[in-house]
């Protein structure tokens, strides 16, 4: 990768659109944060485009802000995708090893991955990621990297991350109309994990929980492998709505009350503690109980964590992840959320922050920027692995595969990311 190689992560959420520009210099160990952009998101509902024009405006504003802080023009980006339409499915692919001497090459791995994605998909559904988890060479199981080994038969166990074709097309359209080309689309919880979860945590067993505005997404890792993903259709925006209803105030006032006075632990707040609404908005009057606000926040967050625990029960991992949970996203900043998550999930819990960065780190050093940073790191790693001389780049082209989720370059990237 050349000096000053630039990668942009574009996190398009229900509450905010965030852009992060990373630059990798050959002489530096860590990538630098060169620019950051943030804009309110008005066209996204629960992770899905609801208004194309508003979404394009929000993306354009975030991009311009990032360009302004860095002086670097943004023409292409790695883009997040989320929402309740995201599903996963396990799959296997089996092929005969091609070379006469039985040595496994990149071509064999590519063919096995192609075989793994040859499944019957529901209508209007397509594959976003094909993630190889382990390989079997003849009768030898749990192989992470089979290249160079000898055998007759190669089998891959893979996880397919699936998404709605109309949702993918609508999101792509909005990004293109904002003047940015989509280099790749990445499920938001996978991107967030790349930026905030280390290898040791993934080996021990960990869940990344991204509490966004409209949804809460998660990804679960064990023994270094991705074992489960999911999306809960509730996020921080629902807490704001609950406060607005409970206090009979506007959404804007409710958001300020949540950010400035919200807590997930009502037992720690005196019932006598009052919030003067006139100090938040001069058009409001009266006082509200801060304890009551905390009860509203606790109830909704408890619902979110209970739903996530229910998902973990499906794979027998409820309370069984030694490295615990890492909370990211705007909702992770609420006071008391870590303690509540410990109680509901019965796991060690910590707030996640972007790891291993240089440059203007203070601009992204918070849970809400983890996904945007992870997207850029995802693209940065893929670019590094595609550099000349890397063994994994010498894989054959596969014709006739659609742009999102199936291009050869993306398949290379998936392979490299999940093999040591």
Residue 65 lies in a domain: no
Cα atoms in the Cβ-side hemisphere of radius 13 Å centred on 246? 23
**Domain assignment of residue 323, yes or no:** yes
163's enclosing H/E stretch is strand 153-164
Residue 408 located in a structural domain:
no
Decide if 135 is inside a domain.
no
Q: Any idea which residue has 């093999």 for tokens?
A: 419
- Distance spanning both ends of the chain, measured CA to CA: 20
Question: Whats the size of the chain, residue-wise?
Answer: 420
- Helices 290-314 and 251-261: angle between axes, nearest 10 degrees: 80
In which residue are the tokens 């090893």 written? 97
Q: Count other Cβ atoms within 10 Å, centred on residue 253.
A: 19
Candidate from 89-93, 203-207, 366-370, 412-416 with smallest mean pLDDT: 412-416
pLDDT tens, position by position, 101-151: 989 998 999 899 999 998 888 889 999 999 998 999 998 998 988 999 999
- pLDDT > 70: percent of the chain: 90
Which uninterrupted H or E stretch holds 181?
Answer: strand 181-187
Q: CATH number, domain at 258?
A: 3.30.420.40
Q: Is residue 101 part of a domain?
A: no
Instruction: Give the range of the structural domain holding residue 218, as residue numbers without chain letter.
Output: 199-352
pLDDT, tens only, 212-251: 999 999 999 999 899 999 999 999 999 999 999 999 999 9
Q: Is 223 inside a domain boundary?
A: yes
Q: In 3D, which of 96, 118, 98, 116 has the Cα closest to residue 107?
A: 98
Tokens of 252: 């804007």
CA 206/CA 241 separation, integer angstroms: 30
The pTM score is 0.88
Residue with tokens 């993630």: 131
Q: Is 24 helix (H, G, I), strand (E, B) or coil?
A: strand
Question: Which residues have a Cβ under 8 Å from the Cβ of 47 and sit 6 or more positions away?
Answer: 13, 14, 81, 82, 83, 84, 188, 212, 214, 215, 217, 231
316 lies in a domain?
Answer: yes
- Is it the case that residue 402 has pLDDT exceeding 70? no
The average confidence (pLDDT) of the chain is: 88
**Looking at the 3D structure of the chain, how many domains does it have?**
1
- 402 versus 154: the higher-pLDDT residue is 154
CA-angle at 405, arms to 230 and 142, nearest 5°:
65
Residue 172 lies in a domain: no
**Nearest in space to 20 (alpha carbons), one of 87, 88, 80, 95:** 80
Note whether 22 and 5 are within 8 A (CB): no
Residue 386 pLDDT: 58
Quick: pLDDT tens for 257-296.
Answer: 999 999 999 999 998 899 998 888 888 888 899 999 999 9
């Amino acid at each position: 990768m050349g000096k000053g190689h630039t990668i942009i992560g574009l996190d398009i959420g229900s509450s905010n659109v965030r852009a992060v520009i990373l630059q990798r210099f050959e002489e530096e160990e860590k990538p630098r944060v060169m620019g950051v952009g943030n804009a309110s998101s008005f066209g996204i509902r629960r992770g899905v485009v609801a208004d194309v024009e508003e979404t394009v405006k929000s993306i354009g504003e975030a991009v311009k802000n990032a360009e302004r802080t860095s002086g670097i023009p943004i023409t292409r980006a790695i883009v997040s995708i989320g929402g309740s339409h995201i599903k996963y499915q396990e799959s296997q692919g089996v092929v005969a090893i091609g070379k006469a001497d039985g040595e496994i090459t990149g071509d064999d791995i590519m063919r096995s991955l192609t075989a793994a994605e040859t499944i019957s998909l529901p209508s209007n559904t397509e594959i976003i990621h094909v993630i190889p988890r382990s390989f079997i060479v003849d009768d030898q199981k749990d192989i992470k990297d089979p290249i160079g080994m000898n055998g007759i038969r190669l089998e891959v166990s893979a996880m397919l991350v699936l998404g709605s074709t109309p949702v993918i097309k609508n999101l792509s359209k909005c990004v293109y109309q904002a003047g940015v080309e989509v280099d790749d689309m990445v499920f938001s919880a996978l991107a967030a994990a790349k930026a905030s979860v280390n290898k040791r945590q993934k080996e021990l067993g960990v869940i990344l929980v991204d509490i966004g505005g409209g949804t809460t997404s998660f990804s679960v890792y064990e023994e270094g492998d991705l074992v489960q993903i999911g999306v809960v259709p509730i996020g921080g925006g629902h807490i704001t709505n609950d406060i607005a209803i409970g206090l009979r105030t506007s959404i804007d006032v409710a958001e300020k009350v949540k950010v400035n006075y919200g807590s997930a632990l009502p037992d720690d707040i005196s019932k006598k503690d009052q919030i003067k609404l006139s100090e938040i908005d001069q058009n409001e009057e009266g006082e509200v109980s801060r304890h009551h606000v905390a009860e509203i926040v606790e109830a909704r967050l408890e619902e979110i964590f209970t739903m996530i625990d229910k998902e973990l029960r499906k794979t027998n991992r409820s309370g069984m992840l030694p490295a615990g949970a890492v909370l990211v996203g705007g909702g992770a900043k609420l006071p008391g959320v870590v303690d509540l998550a410990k109680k509901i999930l019965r796991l060690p819990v910590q707030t996640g922050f972007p790891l291993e960065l240089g440059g203007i780190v203070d601009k992204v050093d918070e849970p809400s920027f983890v996904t945007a940073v992870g997207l850029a790191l995802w693209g940065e790693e893929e670019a590094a692995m595609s550099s000349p001389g890397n063994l994994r780049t010498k894989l054959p082209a596969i014709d006739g595969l659609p742009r999102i989720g199936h291009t050869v370059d993306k398949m290379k990237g998936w392979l490299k990311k999940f093999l040591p």
